Structure 1
Amino acid sequence: MQIGNLTLSGNIFLAPMAGVTDLPFRLLCKEQGASFVYTEMISAKAMHYNDAETIKITETHSDEGPVGVQIFGSDPEIMAETAKKLSVREDITLIDINMGCPAPKIIKNGEGSTLMKKPELVRQIVREVVKASTKPVPVKIRKGWDENTINAVAIAVICEEEGAKAVTVHGRTREQYYSGKVDLNIIKEVKNALTIPVIGNGDIKIPEDAKKMLDISGCNAIMIGRGAQGNPWIFKNIGDYLGKGVYNYRPDNKLILETILKHYSLMEKTKGEKTAVL
């Protein structure tokens, strides 16, 4: 799969998740077959002020590459400045723009999926970030703000017009948060409207969900978020199912325990004993 000048070996991605997709978790998912992984999303404003904790979130390991970083914010200049800073790093292969996060504290600041209501600001942000970044820039969006403002296609078209190299669509509105079912048809509509790759996201909990999303929407890749929590083996099973039509990788209790201990050990090395225990 190709995103701009970045060639990927597969199309099964780990989604960026705050408080979840830290370095230890990414390494486990990569080991189990994730084609591409993202750091936790980071605040462009925090990067602007050189916040040490935010910079630490962007740390990577050679065993997990390729790695992408997702940034969020609403100021085009600060977003561009952050993209420029990050894109010079050899270990970071793309800079993703978050326009889909539904969390209240993000919405309160006019960031994340709030941007779905501001198409002209979307245009400015994507244009400036693309201009500043030396790496490909995808954008992650939602179906719309609510059922009365379904505008994923219009927003996605703006993103492509301004130079985005891929668009990820979570098939729910912001008002739905994570309730109800993901709308595969909106992902299909976006796919039909664009020439750049489209990545589908939402409700992939078992390999059959992944195949259904690919078959119905025609998307180029899938992105797995909550379905990978506590189950890094989902990547291997999806890969087997898509490639061979069957999957049967079911870790026994011994392997599950070994994975838990490995996760703890990685957490202890990267974050210290106290954080690892908590």
Structure 2
Amino acid sequence: MRIGPYTLKNRLIVAPMAGVTDRPFRMLCKRLGAGMAVSEMITSNKALWTTAKTLRRANHDGEVEPISVQIAGADPAQMAAAARLNVEQGAQIIDINMGCPAKKVCNVAAGSALLRDEALVGRILEAVVQAVDVPVTLKTRTGWSREHKTALRVARLAEDCGIAALALHGRTREDMYHGAAEYDTIRAVKQAISIPLIANGDIDSPQRARHVLDYTGADAIMIGRAAQGRPWIFREIQHYLDTGETLPAPTVAEIRQLLLEHLDELYGFYGEYSGCRIARKHIAWYTRGLRGSNEFRQAMYRLEDTAQQRMAVAGYFDRLAGASERLEYVEAEASPDEALAG
């Protein structure tokens, strides 16, 4: 899988997710088998470029290459300026967000709301491609609504504008994350364009990954929600693609170590106050469906400092290890926070 001059180590890519794919999460997923990870969306609004949130999202210190940064906005000139700024700050690939279905993004005519105006889509793509000397990719959906499908037209437009690769989530904006992903649409788009196509949507197991690659003919797959609390899914998928065999579930001891290391990275990246609060959702995802996890989470949410939080997590996994060497899911798994995906 190539994007411009960059050859990825495999065909597995971490989807951009606001509030999730920060530097600690991206680095962890790459360590556990992802070939590339796209950053959280960075706004094209210049007034927000110097905020702590934007500066943190643009922090790529120590990150494994290639560094892909997603930008979001609705004004071609602002998007071009945002692309240039992020390249100056280390971005090696610029990704354009035309896929986020969140209301707060669509309400400012960005994300998947752009799919209602294909002429504007073209102007934004041209402006960003012409603004930088690095590859530009596009993340989009099959359309604004089921009655307004744009996937084929937008894909051809993207190719004509010089987009280096296209990531397609197999749902419309109207669908959000409900219903089945449209693999037929992804397949049709792949057959219509010559640039690399990355399939996205409902890829939550090694078997599903193999099916999507075979059925759609996609050059790569993009995984988002299924990696929340389960970043080892990338090595599981790659092992299955390579051998046709399923890896054993991780041991409790391994997950304990991975989560504690993840927490340490979050605490260092965000600091005491924000680190403790941001870590809560990751802890909830890691423990979702495990024995006694609901009671553990309710107690964990009340902890206000990182030392107590870390100790509580270690103690919970120690108790699990006393009952079983490997993770045992005994509760119905709650759905991840779908509003976060970009």
* Within-5 A mapping of 1:78-157: 78-89=78-89, 91-157=90-156
Change (3 A) 1:47 1:215: farther
Q: Look up the match of 2:251.
A: 252
Q: Distance in 1 between matches of 2:141 and 2:131?
A: 24
Secondary structure at 2:169's aligned position in 1? strand
Q: Look up the match of 2:18.
A: 18
Is the CA contact 1:88–1:134 (under 8 Å) kept in the aligned structure 2? no
Q: Look up the match of 1:160.
A: 159
Per-residue deviation, residues 64-106 of structure 1 (Å, max 9, x unmatched)? 32220000100000000111111234x4220000001000111
Q: Distance in 2 between matches of 1:68 and 1:4?
A: 12
Instruction: Letter of the 1:11 partner, please give it.
Output: R
Q: Are 1:204 and 2:199 matched, yes or no?
A: no
Q: Look up the match of 1:222.
A: 221
Q: Look up the match of 1:36.
A: 36
Instruction: Letter of the 1:22 partner, please give it.
Output: D
Is the CA contact 1:48–1:78 (under 8 Å) kept in the aligned structure 2? no
Is the CA contact 1:80–1:129 (under 8 Å) kept in the aligned structure 2? yes
Range moving further from structure 2, 152-161 or 244-253 = 244-253
Change (3 A) 1:47 1:94: farther
Change (3 A) 1:88 1:32: same
Q: Considering only aligned residues, what root-mean-square deviation do their CA atoms show, in Å?
A: 1.3
Secondary structure at 1:222's aligned position in 2? strand
Instruction: Letter of the 1:67 partner, please give it.
Output: I
Change (3 A) 1:106 1:203: same
Q: Runs of 4+ in structure 1 displaced over 6 angstroms? A: none
Change (3 A) 1:273 1:31: same
Report the TM-score, using the length of structure 2 for normalisation.
0.79
Instruction: Letter of the 2:194 partner, please give it.
Output: T
Cα drift, residue 27 of structure 1: 1.6
Instruction: Letter of the 2:7 partner, please give it.
Output: T
Is the CA contact 2:136–2:164 (under 8 Å) kept in the aligned structure 1? yes
Q: Distance in 2 between matches of 1:21 and 1:170?
A: 17
Instruction: Letter of the 1:81 partner, please give it.
Output: A
Cα drift, residue 49 of structure 1: 4.6
Q: Are 1:265 and 2:264 matched, yes or no?
A: yes
Q: Distance in 1 between matches of 2:255 and 2:244?
A: 25
Cα drift, residue 188 of structure 1: 0.7
Cα drift, residue 257 of structure 1: 1.3
Cα drift, residue 107 of structure 1: 0.8
Cα drift, residue 51 of structure 1: 3.1
Q: Look up the match of 2:65.
A: 65
Change (3 A) 1:249 1:31: farther
Q: Distance in 2 between matches of 1:258 and 1:149?
A: 47
Q: Distance in 1 between matches of 2:142 and 2:270?
A: 36
Range moving further from structure 2, 253-262 or 60-69 = 60-69
Identity %: 41
Q: Distance in 2 between matches of 1:249 and 1:135?
A: 40
Instruction: Letter of the 2:31 partner, please give it.
Output: E
Is the CA contact 1:6–1:93 (under 8 Å) kept in the aligned structure 2? no
Secondary structure at 2:208's aligned position in 1? helix
Which of the two has higher C-alpha Rg?
A: 2
Q: Look up the match of 1:173.
A: 172
Q: Look up the match of 2:184.
A: 185
Q: Look up the match of 1:277.
A: 276
Cα drift, residue 5 of structure 1: 2.1
Change (3 A) 1:249 1:71: farther
Aligned length: 277
Is the CA contact 1:143–1:169 (under 8 Å) kept in the aligned structure 2? yes
Q: Distance in 1 between matches of 2:137 and 2:102?
A: 21
Secondary structure at 1:64's aligned position in 2? coil
Change (3 A) 1:198 1:146: same
Is the CA contact 1:141–1:170 (under 8 Å) kept in the aligned structure 2? yes
Is the CA contact 2:49–2:55 (under 8 Å) kept in the aligned structure 1? no
Secondary structure at 2:235's aligned position in 1? helix
Instruction: Letter of the 1:51 partner, please give it.
Output: T
Change (3 A) 1:208 1:233: same
Q: Flag structure 2 segments of 5+ consecutive residues without an equivalent.
A: 278-342
